[in-house]
Structures are given as structure tokens and as C-alpha cells.
Chains A and B, each alone.
Chain A
Amino acid sequence: QVQLQESGPGLVEPSGTLSLTCAVSGGSISSSHWWTWIRQSPGKGLEWIGEILHSGDTNYNPSLKSRLTISVDKSRNQFSLKLTSVTAADTAMYYCARGYGDSRQGFDYWGRGILVTVSS
């Protein structure tokens, strides 16, 4: 059974960098799945942030692309997100998930999520 676990700071200062890691267990990050970040602002819907393949290929949401970096660490079976120049609008529950194949068909495994608040 594949499991994903998000980790990182729960509080980030405005204009700072949000950094999160997703540890994958029960499966290899080198499989043919895209590994994805999705966020959900308080009381709102879901927003796809971006994804990465084990090769390092990435796809990003154009609305976040200029501030976003997603990377993979195959040796640790994990992938990471960095979002720079954060504002209060980046406050959200951040989920990592596994794409079902190329993610067009959605996500079959999700982490429990981590709440990140942007505040001084």
C-alpha cells in the first residue's frame, strides 16, 4: 500500500519561502507515476500546483510557475516543493499525491495534508 507523508514548517513569514517534502513509502518514486502537489485554501476548493516524474521532468501551474520549484530525491524516495515570495494568499492545506499514470486521470494516493500559514 503506497503511503505519502508531507512534512515542513507550518508557519512561513510573508515574502519568505515555503518548503515542503513528501516522503513516499510502500512504492518507488522511480515508478512511472507523476508525483503531485495540490493545495486547498481554508474553506475553498482544490488547486493543482504541479508535478514531477522521477526523471526530473516537471509540469507547473502557470499561475505559480515563476515562484515554484518541484524536485525529486530518488535516494530518499521523496519529492519536494519550494514556493518563493509567499503571501497570505498562499495559506492553505498542502497535499502531495500520486498521479494515476500521467495525472490526467487524477490521483490515486494522497497524503494527509499539512496546513501552512503565511503570517508574521
Chain B
Amino acid sequence: DVVLTQSPLSLPVTLGQPASISCRSSQSLVHSAGNTYLNWFQQRPGQSPRRLIYKVFNRDSGVPDRFSGSGSGTDFTLNISRVEAEDVGVYYCMQGTHWPPLTFGGGTKVEIK
């Protein structure tokens, strides 16, 4: 199985400041057909997860443009340009290139300082 390692585990951030979450894969996530199936999810306290980004950098409808995804191969990043109070929660990366199984990272908890 592909292992996704997220860092940091916990990320205290000041409101209005940027935040960056890393996701590293045990194998390259470039699919033979050329796509890279690396997605990001947000899980606010007490809620179901919500997809933010798919295929590395494509933002879902309704997701604020302060969220952006980047990366290639085995190294990927989710950036929040200016953290707002509603961004508190746990963020997960997920890969769909090598499956089954689809696998998730262990999560990064974003909290306000």
C-alpha cells in the first residue's frame, strides 16, 4: 500500500498568517496515463470530511481561493494564504494513483494560536 506521511501533525497558526501542510508519498503518484491523483480534504470539528483540492491543484467549487495545492511526484503541499477561524480542523491528503486501496495521510490538525 502507498503510505502518505503528513507533516506537521499539529499546526498552530495566527489568524491572517499563512499555513503550509506537507504530504509525502512512499511512491511516485504519477499515473501511467499522466495524471497525478493526489487530493486534499478538510474535516472541521464534528463534521464529515470535505474535499478541497483534487489532482494536486484543482480547487473544488465553493472552496475559497486562499487554499491552493501544489507538488509533483512524491512531494505535495497544501497552502492556506491567510488562515481564518473557519479553517480550524484536520486536513488529510489522499492518493488514488495506486489502488486498491485508496489511502489517506494521517492528518494535520490546524488550530489558532
Which A residues contact B (CB, under 8 angstroms)? 45-48, 50, 59-63, 95, 100, 102-108, 110-113
Contact = CB atoms under 8 A, between A and B. Distances in A.
Contact of A61 (B31, B37, B54, B100): B100
Contact of B51 (A59, A95, A107): A107
B2 to A, nearest CB: 12
Given A105-B54, A107-B51, A48 B101 contact: yes
The 10 A-B pairs of least Cβ separation, nearest first, read A104-B96, A106-B39, A110-B48, A48-B102, A61-B101, A46-B104, A104-B37, A105-B54, A106-B51, A45-B106
B92 interface: yes
A103 B96 contact: yes
Contact of B105 (A45, A104, A107, A110): A45
Nearest to B39: A106
Interface residues of B, number: 25
B80 interface: no
B104 A48 contact: yes
A46 B92 contact: yes
A108 B54 CA distance: 10
Given A106-B54, A108-B60, A62 B100 contact: yes
Contacts of A102: 96
Contact of B104 (A45, A103, A113): A45
B62 to A, nearest CB: 11
Interface string B10-54: 000000000000000000000100010101010000001111001
Contacts of A106: 39, 41, 51, 54, 94, 96
A115 to B, nearest CB: 12
Given A104-B97, A106-B39, A113-B48, A48 B54 contact: no
B59 interface: no
